[in-house]
A and B are shown apart, each in its own frame.
Chain A
C-alpha cells in the first residue's frame, strides 16, 4: 500500500471573481443534499454561480423580499437524530447488526472510528484523518463523521457522509441513515431517490479520494446501504440500493458545472451578492445572471420564489410538459397569439402553431 501524506488539499482560492460575489460573508458549506439539489437544475447559471461562490441563498432571498419556507419541524429533526443516536450507541452495536444482514461483515473484527463532530475549525484536520484512515484501509471498520471533498463547479467542497462502512475484503460501502419508514418493503419513492442521489455524491467523492491515494476507485461499491426505520417502529432495516444510474447523472452534471468560473469571469463588473447590500442592488445583480426557472425549483432552490416571480408569464413557469405542449415558445402571450393567429409563426413554429390553432378552435367551439 502506498504511503500517503495526510495533508488536505488547500481550498482553492484562485477564483477571486466567485469569492468577491459573496462580499465579506463566509462561504456556505456544501453537503450531499445541496450538491444533489445543485445537479437538479444543471442548466441554471444563476444557481451555479451562487452555489459555487458559496452565497447564503436563504439569506439572499430574505434580503430581496422573496423568502422561502424551507423550515424543518423540530419533531422530524428530533426523530432523525434519535434514530441515528440509537443506531450508533455502544460503538454502533445496533447498526452493525443490521449491516451484517446485507454486507457480510465479519462479526468480531469491526472497528469503529468517530472522526468527531461538525466544526468549521477542524475541517482540514478531519479530512486529513479521513485520508489516513482510508489509506490504511485493511480491516473491517466503520468510519463515522468522515470528511470528504469533491470538486463542484471548479472548487473543492467538503462533504460529510453519515458513515462509511468498510467491508471485510476492503470494499467500501457508503451507509446512509434516514428516518423515513420502510413499510412492507416499500418507501416513499421521492425520499428514496433523494437518498440515492446523496449517497451517489459520497460514492463519487470517495472514489476520487481513493484515486488520489493511488487506490483502485472501484474499491468503492456502487451498492450503498440505506438504513431506515422498519414499518411503524424504530427497529432499523437495511436495504442495498444500486446507485450506478445516479452516479452517471451526477458525473455528467458535475462536468457541465465545471466551467462556472469562466462564466463568473465573463459577468459584468460590479456584480455582488453580498447580503449586506440593499435589495435593489442585489436584484439588479441577480438579473445579470441567467436563470432557468422550472416549478421543480420550488422544492430544490431557496431562490425559487424570486425566480418564479421573474419568470411570471413564461411558459416555463407552467412546467416543462406545458411548455413543450405549447410548442416550446417562451411566453404565454406568444403561445396565445399563435393560437389566435395574431402572430405569424416562424418556420419551426409552424407545426406547433397549427396544433394550437386547432386546439383553440375546438375549445372555443365547445365552450
Chain B
C-alpha cells in the first residue's frame, strides 16, 4: 500500500465518503457492455444455480437451473447461457480495419470493435474460468452429447477469463476491481471486496450516511451477496424447500432468484455509470486496440475450427505467457502514470519522478565530440521534490514522450528555507532532424515540467522456442490435449495425476 492510497483511505474515513484515486478512467468502457452475474450452487464444484445477464439494464435475462444437482439440467442451462452470450460476443465482426505490421511491409486485419463482459467481482471471473473449463471439452456426439453451442461457450469463457489476467485488458472486467482502482474507501480491502459495501462508500443511497449504508450492505437480508456464493440463510430457508421436490417450481425459483440478483444488477449498472462519468485516459484506446487484436485472433481461431484451449499450458507456453503478463503489467503501470497525475504522484512521492521549473535552457547546444555534431540542448530544472536519481539516468517527460533527458548532475541547493534540488538535463530526440531544434521542442525557461525514470519504450519479450523445438525436459513436444479429454471430468475415469497443488 502506498502512502498516497493509504492517505486517501484515511481521508475517506474522515470525510465519510470515498475519495478519488484517479483523475481519469483507466479502462475502456463499451457503449454496449454485457453485464453478467453468475450464482453458484453451494458446495458443488462450479455447479451453476442462476445467471442474470444482458445488455439492457431495464430488462435483464434471468436463467435458472431447474435442479442444480442434475447434470442434464446443468447442460441445459449451459446451452441457454450460450444462446445469450455467444450471439453478443459474435456481434462485433461487421467491420475490419487494416493494421500495418512488420514495419509496414505487411498488413493484418482486426475487427473495429470487440465485446466487453462485466461481472461483479473476482469470484465471478473465477466462476467463468471454471465454467469454461467444464464446458469447452464437451463432445457434441455420443453418449454425453451436448448442444454445439456449449463447447463454443466454454472456449469463449476461457478466452475471456484468460484476458482478465492481462493487466489493462478491458474485455472481461469486474466491478469491484474497476471501482477500487478509481476510488478509495474508508474501510479495509476485505470489506471492499463486497460490492454492496464498496458501493455504499462511493455512492450511498440518498439520505443515508456512508456508515449506515455500509452496515446495511453487510446484511444479506437487505442486500444479497453479489455471488457467485449465495447467502447461506437463503439456501437453507428459501432454496432448500424449493429444491426438495423432484420437479421444482421453476416460476417460483425464478422469482426468488430474481430478488437475490436484482440488487447486484442495479449496483453494477450504477458503478458503470460512475465510471462513464470520468474522462477517459489517453492511453486507454491503445490498450483497447490490443484487446481487439486478441478478440479478432481468437475469433479467427474458432472460425478455423481451432482446438479448445489445453487444460494446462505446457512449460514453454506457460513461460511465454508469464513473460507477456509481466510486460503488460509494466506497460499498464507506466501508461496509467503518464495518463493520470494522481497516479504519477505515487512515483513523485517515491522519488522516481519530480516536477520542477526550468531555470536555464540552452536550446542550440551542439555536441561535436563525436564523428559528427549532434544537437544536445541542456536545461536546468529546480524542484522541491525528492530526487532519488543518479547522473546518467535517462528520464522522460509525459509532455514530450519521444524526448530523452539524461541527468548530467543533481545538486542540492543549500541556502534557503526550503530544500531544493537543481537537476541538469541533456536532451536528445523529439526535436526534428536538423541541428536546430524545432520550435517548442525544447522546454523554455519558466516552464513547469515533470520528469520520470518511467519509460514507455518498447521492451522486447523473451525469445522462447517453438513448441516442437522444446526439449522433453521442458514438457515438449506437445501432445494434442483435446482428443483424450472429452468427458474426463464427468466420469472421472481418466488417470489421477499426482499434480502438485498450486495453492499449497
Using CB atoms and an 8 Å cutoff, list the residues of chain A in contact with chain B.
Answer: 69, 71-80, 98, 101-102, 179-193, 196, 226, 229-235, 237-242, 295-296, 298-299, 313, 315, 317-319, 321-322, 324-326, 332-333, 335-336, 339, 355-356, 358-360, 362-363, 366-367
Contact A360 B7 (CB under 8 A): yes
A75-B235, A192-B504, A315-B10 given; A325·B1 CB < 8 A: yes
Interface string of B32-57 (1 = CB under 8 A from A): 00000000011111110000000000
Query: What class of interface size applies to chain B in its complex with A?
Result: 35 or more
Residue of A226, A233, A313 with most chain B CB atoms under a 10 A cut-off: A233
A74: contacting residue among B47, B133, B240, B311, CB under 8 A = B240
Contact B501 A366 (CB under 8 A): no
| A residues near B292, Cβ cutoff 8 Å | none
Bound-state CA distance A73–B405 (Å) is 61
Contact A321 B491 (CB under 8 A): no
| A residues near B43, Cβ cutoff 8 Å | 73, 75-80, 179
Contact A336 B11 (CB under 8 A): yes
| A residues near B5, Cβ cutoff 8 Å | 322, 325
Chain A at the B interface: SS class: helix
A-B contacts, 22 of them at CB < 8 A, read A73-B42, A73-B236, A79-B42, A181-B45, A183-B133, A184-B133, A185-B501, A231-B45, A232-B45, A233-B490, A240-B498, A242-B504, A322-B1, A322-B5, A322-B10, A326-B7, A332-B13, A332-B186, A335-B7, A360-B7, A362-B348, A366-B23
**A318-B13, A321-B6, A326-B7 are known contacts; what are 14 more A-B pairs with Cβ within 8 Å?**
A73-B43, A74-B236, A76-B232, A80-B43, A192-B503, A193-B503, A238-B496, A325-B6, A326-B6, A332-B13, A335-B10, A336-B14, A363-B8, A366-B341
- What's the minimum C-beta distance from A237 to chain B, rounded to whole angstroms? 6
Bound-state CA distance A313–B186 (Å) is 9
| B residues near A184, Cβ cutoff 8 Å | 133, 311-312, 499
Q: Check if B134 is an interface residue, CB within 8 A of chain A.
A: yes
A73-B235, A184-B133 given; A326·B503 CB < 8 A: no
- What's the minimum C-beta distance from B449 to chain A, rounded to whole angstroms? 15
| B residues near A318, Cβ cutoff 8 Å | 6, 9-10, 13, 186-188
- What's the minimum C-beta distance from B244 to chain A, rounded to whole angstroms? 10
A319-B190, A355-B3, A358-B349 given; A185·B497 CB < 8 A: yes
| B residues near A192, Cβ cutoff 8 Å | 501, 503-504
Bound-state CA distance A98–B498 (Å) is 11
Nearest-CB residue, chain B, relative to A193? B503
B502: contacting residue among A72, A187, A190, A299, CB under 8 A = A187
Q: Check if B100 is an interface residue, CB within 8 A of chain A.
A: no
Contact B10 A73 (CB under 8 A): no
Bound-state CA distance A324–B9 (Å) is 13
| B residues near A189, Cβ cutoff 8 Å | 502-504
| B residues near A298, Cβ cutoff 8 Å | 190-191
Q: Check if B411 is an interface residue, CB within 8 A of chain A.
A: no
| B residues near A238, Cβ cutoff 8 Å | 496
Q: Check if B208 is an interface residue, CB within 8 A of chain A.
A: no
Contact B190 A325 (CB under 8 A): no
| B residues near A239, Cβ cutoff 8 Å | 498-501, 504
- What's the minimum C-beta distance from A222 to chain B, rounded to whole angstroms? 13
Contact A363 B342 (CB under 8 A): yes
Q: Check if B435 is an interface residue, CB within 8 A of chain A.
A: no
Q: Check if B489 is an interface residue, CB within 8 A of chain A.
A: yes
| A residues near B23, Cβ cutoff 8 Å | 366-367
| A residues near B227, Cβ cutoff 8 Å | none
Nearest-CB residue, chain B, relative to A298? B190
- What's the minimum C-beta distance from B150 to chain A, rounded to whole angstroms? 14
Q: Check if B4 is an interface residue, CB within 8 A of chain A.
A: yes
- What's the minimum C-beta distance from A274 to chain B, rounded to whole angstroms? 28
Bound-state CA distance A193–B502 (Å) is 10
Q: Check if B142 is an interface residue, CB within 8 A of chain A.
A: no
Nearest-CB residue, chain A, relative to B489? A231
A317: contacting residue among B20, B188, B348, B488, CB under 8 A = B188
Bound-state CA distance A155–B47 (Å) is 43
Bound-state CA distance A215–B499 (Å) is 33
A363: contacting residue among B7, B489, B496, CB under 8 A = B7
| B residues near A183, Cβ cutoff 8 Å | 45-46, 130, 133
A299-B190, A318-B186, A362-B349 given; A185·B503 CB < 8 A: no
A184-B311, A295-B191, A324-B1 given; A232·B498 CB < 8 A: no
Nearest-CB residue, chain B, relative to A184? B311
Contact B488 A231 (CB under 8 A): yes
| A residues near B502, Cβ cutoff 8 Å | 185-187, 189
